[in-house]
Structures are given as structure tokens and as C-alpha cells.
Structure 1
Amino acid sequence: MHILLTGGTGLIGRALCRHWQRQGHELSVWSRSPHQVSALCSGARGMARLQELDGGPPVDAVVNLAGAPIADRRWTQARRHLLWRSRVDLTRTLVDWMGQQPTPPRVLLSGSAVGWYGDRGEQLLDEDSTPGQADFGSRLCVAWEHEAERAVQWGVRVAVLRTAPVLASQGGMLTRLRHVFRIGLGGPLGSGQQWMPWIHINDQVSLIDHLLHREECSGAFNACAPEPVRNQDFTRSLARALRRPGVLPAPAWALRLALGEMSVLLLGGQRLTPRRTLAAGFAWRQPALEPALEQLLHTP
């Protein structure tokens, strides 16, 4: 299978490339740094422009994970423009290119995030719940998914992954938290009562691969573990796994002062269940938090 990947040099993209390289798929990665793709993405071909694929073997599947990091800095006006361009505008360009192909790809798997739901407190949510509209993050995800869904007009099967924070041994949220906890500064965020969906990197890769090969799977799928936890429970579990204290809370007022609207990523939450993901026959290898953390932090 010839797979076109965006976001291939990111945490999930690199893991996917390793997985698909072992399966013998042909991989092309659209990247701003195409010269780095081969080394970072298990020998995949890097391209600066989609048109480099024109006239060659058709693309069978597109996996769209591109997007500037959303939690790296405050959501200034300039940062919002960058986040929008790297997700919404890029996806529009990608879908337009797909529609121009003599044989459009059969499937588009496109990224989104659990931020699509916004901060919903204690409300139990699944893929059929309504989107949030109160913050920039939810509006960004709604527009991002809308651009991906346009590919249906070309006869493309479209599946959207609303991904929770991904836990990995190297990179992502866990690497940042591990340092904070090891120097004794870890603790709950705000009240600690907010729900905190998450997913193990291996399950994220397996879910994408599962949806890629299931012709009946289209629409939105929550990429999160089936057992939700509150932030304070996540904090305790991580502290135990690291054999370190986790008792220094970060006050909500301080986070709002430091981060502005972006603080919703830390103080808001989603009590999320992956109902459609379960119905699609996906089986988690790491459904529970504490074993997942032990595996990531202590397995060589």
C-alpha cells in the first residue's frame, strides 16, 4: 500500500512509520523539512510539495496528522494564525489535491483532538456528543474536521481521530511531566477534579492502522483509553510510577495568569468514552493507566 503521511516527523508519525515500514508499505511524507524525513521516518520519502507525487504511482491512503504544537506557548494572535494554518489550511490544500488526482486515495484518516468537545465538566461524552464552541481549541478542531470531511465528495472514506494526550516513553506530555515530578515539583492542576483522557502511543498507532484497514469505518472515533481518570488520579499514578511525591498543586489562578486562554488545556477536561472505537472492534493493549505508566517508564 502507498501511504501519504503528513506530520510524519512528529511523535505519532515517527511511530507509524516504524510500524508501516515493518509491514512493507511504501511511505511518502509531506514535510516542511523533507531532507530530514528519511532519517526520522524509517526511510520514508520526503516531499516539500504534494505535486512531486503527480504522475507517479497512485496514493492508496492519506493519514493527515500535521499541525504545529498546540501547548508549546500562549495562544497569541500570531500563534492562533499558525495553529490554524498548520491544521485547517493545510488540510484544505491536501483535500483539494486529493480531488485533483485521476484516482483519488481510497481513505483519509485525519487528525483532530479531544479538545473538539471543549471543557464539559462532569458530562459523559462520546463521538455523538455536540462540539464545544467556547474556546479557540474547540473551534480549531471543528474547522479542522470540516476540511477533512470535504474529501467525501471525491468518493474517499474519511475517518477522523479525536486524539487524547498521547503517553510515550520518549517525547510528548510524559517526558515533560517526568522531569517536573523527578525534581519534586509535580502535583494536581487546579482542583485536580477535571477529567483527563489519555492514550498509550502503541494503542494510538494500532488504532490508526485498524481504521486504515476497516472499510466500514468512517466518521469520528475517540482515540483515548476506555478508562477515564481525573487529573488528581493521573497525578497520583504518575508519582507512584516514578517513586516520587506528587503533592504540590498548581493553582488554577496561577495557570490562568500564566497561560491565558490556553489554560483550558490543563484546567478543562472531557469525561470521554470511545464508544464508536469500541464498536469498530478495536482492542486496547493498554486500557488502564497504572500498567501503562509502568510499561512506559520502566520497560527497557
Structure 2
Amino acid sequence: MKIAIAGGTGFVGEALANYFLDKNHTVYILTRNASRYTSSKRLHYLEWLSPTSAPEHDLQDIDAFINLAGESLNSGRWTKVRKQRIVDSRITATKEVIRILKALDKKPECLINASAIGVYGTSVDETFTEDPTQVGTDFLADTVSKWEEEAQKASGLGIRTVFARFGVILGKDDGALPRMVLPYRFFIGGTVGVGNQWLSWIHIIDVVKSIEFLIENQDISGPVNLTSPDPKQMKPFGKAIGKVLGRPHWLPVPGFALKLLLGEMSILVLEGQKVLPKKLQENHYPFTYVRLEDAIQNLLK
């Protein structure tokens, strides 16, 4: 296959590119700084989102388009300006994806557009699937709704469109896990906040393989939760880290301190949602890591 990845130089993008290259696919990475990278026979870096860029000239025969582009939610305190940048970066990139898709004579079979389980809002008691009635009202939910609305325009071009709603992605050297592990390495790990907030996680390997699964299964469209079937509350999640590392779980981090430090961004660690991957399970996606303990053991040992 020929696969285009917008935002392909980040954590998920690099993992996807390496995986597809190992399977002898051809990968096109759309990046603002293509000159920083060296292309090869099956890996091509294309400039985009600049006044003179026209990546569509190199994408005429692609089979799938994956859009991961957008400013990180962890890029700093959520000031009014940064929140606008978080929204604008996603909408601007997705508008450009749609423009490129319109310009292609031969359309790809699918667009896999990154999204997030933040669309559901936060809850301690509710369980979320891809039910369209389950939509939150906070900043993250509003951002994701706008993002998906823009990406949905690809379906009007006859392109199967999937919204990959990522949970908390666990990787060895990137993603949320290294930050969560650090206090335990210094013997000061403990419960963050109240501890009953849900953390719907997924191993980076399952992110990559589930996206491949979504590309190959042409009957799947719309929102798809990319989370493990084994979500955990924050307290047992922390205890699992301590157990794998052989470190104590004892020093709590009070919620008010994180709110003072991070402001509204503290919602990422102090609040959460219990999300289940209903569509992946109904379509018999074979998870590599179902249990949290197995995932952490793989990443930390």
C-alpha cells in the first residue's frame, strides 16, 4: 500500500511509519519541515502547510490517508491563546487534508482522522462507547467535535472516513507513561488527585495495529474508540506501575496543587472517562495488550 501520514513526525506518526515500512508499504510523511529529513525509496517527506507547498502532486496513487496533525494538548498551560491554537491547528490541518483530497484524481479508500475520547466529557460513573448521544460540553469535547466535523467532509468525496478516538497512549519513551513513571523511579509515586478518576489507556502497539485494522476493514467508518477493554481508575493504575517497578505507591499528589500548577489543563490527569472500544471488539480486533499489567510490564521491563 501507499499511505500518507500528516503529522507523521510525532510519537504516533513515527510508530506508524516504522510499522508500515517494516511491512514493505510506501509511506509519505507530510511535515512543515520536510528539508530536515532524508527521504528514501519507500519513505518520502513532503512539505505542506506553506504558501508554496502542493503535496497532492506526489499523492495521486495513495491507498489511505492518516491525519494526526495538531498542537499537543500538553504543550503548556491552557491560556486563552493556547486553547485557540489547539483548536486552530487541528482545523487548519484538516482543512488542508480535505483540500488535498479534493485535488486528487484518484481518491484514497479511506481517511483515518485522529480524534480523542475527550469528546465524551468527564465522568466517574458513566461508561462511554461510540454512542453518538454521548458528547461532552467542556473545552476538549468542543474541540474534538469541531475537528471531527471538519474531517467528515471527506465522506462527501466518496472517501470512507474514520475518527480514531485515542485514549491515553502508553509508550516506553514518549506519551503519558514516562511522566507517570518518573515519581516512582524516585520513590515518591502515589495517587494523583482523588484516585477514582478513570484512565482509558492503550499500548502504542495496539494504536498502530488498530489503525492498520481500520484501513483494512472497509466496513468500519465513523468514530472508533482506540482504548484497551481494561480501563483503570487512577489509584490502581499507579499501584500497577509501582508493582512492576518494585517501588512504593504512597505519596499522594493533591488535586488542588495540580490545579494551581496547570490550571484548566489539570483536567487531563484529575478527571477522566471510562471508555470501551465497542466497535473494535464487535469487529474482532485482536488486542495485543488487554491487561494494564501486561502493557506496563512490556514497556518498563
- TM-score, normalization: structure 1? 0.94
1:251 alignment partner, one of 251, 254, 258: 254
Could you tell me whether the CA contact under 8 Å between 1:5 and 1:28 is conserved in 2?
yes
Letter in 2 for 1:45: H
1:87-114 C-alpha deviation (Å, 9 max, x unpaired) = 1221112112212222222110010111
- State the match for 1:273 in structure 2: 276
d(CA) in 2 for partners of 1:190 and 1:134? 22
1:66 alignment partner, one of 53, 66, 69: 69
2:56 alignment partner, one of 53, 56, 61: 53
- State the match for 1:127 in structure 2: 130
Q: Pick closer, same or farther for the CA change 1:58–1:36 going to 2, 3 Å.
A: same
- State the match for 1:34 in structure 2: 34
d(CA) in 2 for partners of 1:56 and 1:73? 34
1:73-100 C-alpha deviation (Å, 9 max, x unpaired) = 1111221122112212211121122122
Q: Pick closer, same or farther for the CA change 1:213–1:29 going to 2, 3 Å.
A: same
- State the match for 1:6 in structure 2: 6
Q: Shift of the alpha carbon at 1:234?
A: 0.4
1:98 alignment partner, one of 98, 101, 113: 101
Q: Shift of the alpha carbon at 1:54?
A: 1.6
Q: Shift of the alpha carbon at 1:184?
A: 2.1
d(CA) in 2 for partners of 1:185 and 1:75? 27
d(CA) in 2 for partners of 1:220 and 1:144? 12
d(CA) in 1 for partners of 2:245 and 2:59? 50
Is the counterpart of residue 107 in structure 1 residue 107 in structure 2? no
d(CA) in 2 for partners of 1:221 and 1:66? 18
Q: Pick closer, same or farther for the CA change 1:34–1:71 going to 2, 3 Å.
A: same
SS at match of 1:186: coil
- 109-118 or 133-142, larger mean C-alpha shift: 133-142
Could you tell me whether the CA contact under 8 Å between 1:36 and 1:46 is conserved in 2?
no
Q: Shift of the alpha carbon at 1:142?
A: 0.8
d(CA) in 2 for partners of 1:55 and 1:258? 45
Q: Shift of the alpha carbon at 1:35?
A: 2.8
1:128-158 C-alpha deviation (Å, 9 max, x unpaired) = 1534443211111111111111100000000
Could you tell me whether the CA contact under 8 Å between 1:88 and 1:140 is conserved in 2?
no
Is the counterpart of residue 288 in structure 1 residue 291 in structure 2? yes
Is the counterpart of residue 192 in structure 1 residue 195 in structure 2? yes
Could you tell me whether the CA contact under 8 Å between 1:37 and 1:44 is conserved in 2?
no
Could you tell me whether the CA contact under 8 Å between 1:61 and 1:108 is conserved in 2?
yes
Q: Shift of the alpha carbon at 1:37?
A: 4.1
- TM-score, normalization: structure 2? 0.93
Could you tell me whether the CA contact under 8 Å between 1:29 and 1:37 is conserved in 2?
no
Q: Shift of the alpha carbon at 1:42?
A: 10
Could you tell me whether the CA contact under 8 Å between 1:168 and 1:174 is conserved in 2?
yes
Q: Pick closer, same or farther for the CA change 1:38–1:286 going to 2, 3 Å.
A: farther
Letter in 1 for 2:178: T
Letter in 1 for 2:195: G
d(CA) in 2 for partners of 1:175 and 1:95? 35
Q: Which runs of no fewer than 5 residues in structure 2 stay unpaired? A: none
Q: Which runs of no fewer than 5 residues in structure 1 stay unpaired? A: none
d(CA) in 1 for partners of 2:171 and 2:59? 35
- State the match for 2:228 in structure 1: 225
Identity among equivalent pairs (%): 31
Q: Shift of the alpha carbon at 1:127?
A: 0.6
d(CA) in 2 for partners of 1:55 and 1:290? 43
Letter in 1 for 2:44: R
- Report the number of matched residues: 297
- State the match for 1:162 in structure 2: 165
Q: Pick closer, same or farther for the CA change 1:289–1:218 going to 2, 3 Å.
A: same
- 142-151 or 93-102, larger mean C-alpha shift: 93-102
